[in-house]
């Protein structure tokens, strides 16, 4: 679980880029995505793996214009450790570890980063029924773990189910609960694999936000505006959150244990926690000049943002 004291990055969107396409990597930093994920795994054909590793290693040699993560090959592939050693440059924010099956694999990745003296975070990708059964254990396997998420394509195949339905929703809910129980941010929703179907992206992203995701992975720049539209706090949400904190502040000033908003709503700890999430995200996105959130809580207390496949 994370004890990272650095300011939390807010990722409504993370754009995957195949690691063997240097032109696409360069263009990714000109998009509106909040973070970039350079992919050494599924997006790279086996004959291109070595070349992709070299290209990505060069891309993260120096600090990048956006937070940059690398999805490395699974530990079981035999490629993971060499991937890590190659890409542990100054521009690497962290690793997304594909197809994690055990906490031992997470600790192996953390051990390589320790050996290299690199501060990179670890994102754990759960892509099988077995891994899903151990979601909390994986989320707490190392202090470097700051996100857990689903690799839905492989998980769906393992479960022999459809993309949208109660089985996948139960998996999504399970990983969200595991992340929060471990003191991590809510996960980021997995990719929508049809880049031309923007209506489908919109519908499923709205559903994902209702489930509890706080952002979404993208595979094409055209998906980013819709993802941001869904996952950015609205003006009404920000106003409501500010009102909740104003009511709480007034109650404290008047030594009252019960706070009530101007709209007559009682304010309790759950409402304060939700309002704090909204205001922290809005502040990070420069949507408000200043949010009166009291003492800034840790990710463990609030659940503002983090990742998925």
Q: What is the pLDDT of residues 168-192, one digit of tens each?
A: 999 999 999 999 999 998 999 999 9
CA–CA gap between residue 221 and residue 150 (Å, rounded): 21
Higher pLDDT, 74 or 2: 74
Are 171 and 212 a contacting pair, CB within 8 Å? Answer: no
Which parts of the chain fold into alpha helices (H)?
Answer: 22-28, 49-59, 80-87, 103-116, 129-133, 135-139, 152-159, 166-181, 198-211, 224-231, 235-253, 269-284, 299-302
Instruction: Name the pairing type of β-strands 94-97 and 68-72.
Output: parallel
CA distance 300 to 296: 11
Residue 71 is labelled as binding a ligand: yes
Higher pLDDT, 240 or 79: 79
Whether 27 has a binding-site annotation, put simply, is no
Task: Give the angle subtended at the CA of 223 by the CAs of 219 and 224, to the nearest 5°.
Answer: 100
> For the segment 12-40, what is each residue's pLDDT rounded down to a tens digit?
999 999 999 999 999 999 999 999 999 99
CA angle at residue 270 from 124 to 246, to 5 degrees?
120
Global pTM? 0.84
Q: Which CATH class is domain 13-231?
A: alpha beta
One-character DSSP codes across 114-176 = HHHT---EEEEEE-SHHHHHTHHHHHTS-TTEEEEEE-HHHHHHHHT--SSSHHHHHHHHHHH
Q: 3-state class of 267 per DSSP?
A: strand
Domain boundaries, the chain: 13-231, 235-284
- Confidence class of residue 289 from pLDDT cuts 50, 70 and 90? low
Q: What is the pLDDT of residue 9?
A: 60
> Does position 208 have pLDDT exceeding 50, yes or no?
yes
What's the CA gap between 84 and 106, in Å, rounded? 13
Exposed/middle/buried for 85, CB within 10 Å: 0-12, 13-18, 19+? middle
Q: Identify the band that residue 257 occupies on the pLDDT scale cut at 50, 70 and 90.
A: low
Contact 162, 168 (CB under 8 A): yes
Handedness of CA 10, 149, 88, 72 (dihedral sign): negative
Residue 7 · residue 281 · CB < 8 Å: no
Q: Is 154 annotated as a binding residue?
A: yes
Hey, which of 61-70, 243-252, 280-289 has the most confident mean pLDDT? Answer: 61-70
Q: What are phi and psi of 247, to 5 degrees?
A: -65, -40
């Amino acid at each position: 679980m994370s004890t990272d004291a650095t300011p939390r990055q807010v990722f409504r969107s993370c754009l995957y880029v195949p690691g063997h396409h240097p032109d696409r990597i360069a263009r990714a930093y000109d998009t509106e995505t909040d973070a970039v994920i350079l992919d050494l795994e599924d997006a790279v054909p086996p004959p291109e793996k070595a070349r992709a590793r070299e290209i990505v290693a060069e891309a993260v040699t120096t600090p990048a214009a956006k937070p940059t993560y690398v999805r490395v090959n699974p530990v079981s592939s035999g490629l993971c450790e060499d991937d890590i050693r190659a890409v542990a440059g100054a521009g690497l924010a962290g690793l997304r570890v594909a197809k994690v099956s055990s906490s031992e694999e997470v600790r192996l990745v953390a051990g390589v980063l320790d050996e290299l003296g690199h501060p990179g975070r670890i994102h754990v990708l759960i892509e099988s029924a077995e891994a899903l059964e151990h979601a909390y254990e994986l989320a707490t396997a190392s202090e470097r773990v700051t996100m857990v998420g689903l690799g839905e394509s492989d998980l769906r195949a393992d479960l022999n189910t459809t993309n949208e339905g109660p089985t996948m929703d139960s998996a999504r809910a399970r990983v969200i609960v595991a992340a929060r129980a471990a003191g991590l941010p809510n996960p980021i929703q997995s990719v929508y694999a049809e880049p031309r179907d923007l209506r489908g992206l919109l519908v499923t992203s709205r559903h994902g936000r209702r489930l509890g995701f706080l952002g979404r992975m993208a595979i094409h720049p055209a998906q980013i505006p819709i993802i941001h539209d869904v996952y950015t706090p609205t003006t009404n949400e920000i106003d409501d959150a500010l009102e909740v904190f104003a009511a709480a502040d007034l109650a404290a000033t008047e030594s009252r244990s019960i706070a009530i908003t101007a709209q007559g709503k009682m304010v309790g700890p759950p409402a304060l926690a939700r309002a704090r999430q909204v205001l922290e995200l809005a502040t990070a996105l420069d949507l408000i000049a200043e949010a009166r959130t009291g003492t800034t809580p840790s990710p463990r207390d609030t659940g503002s943002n983090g990742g998925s496949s």
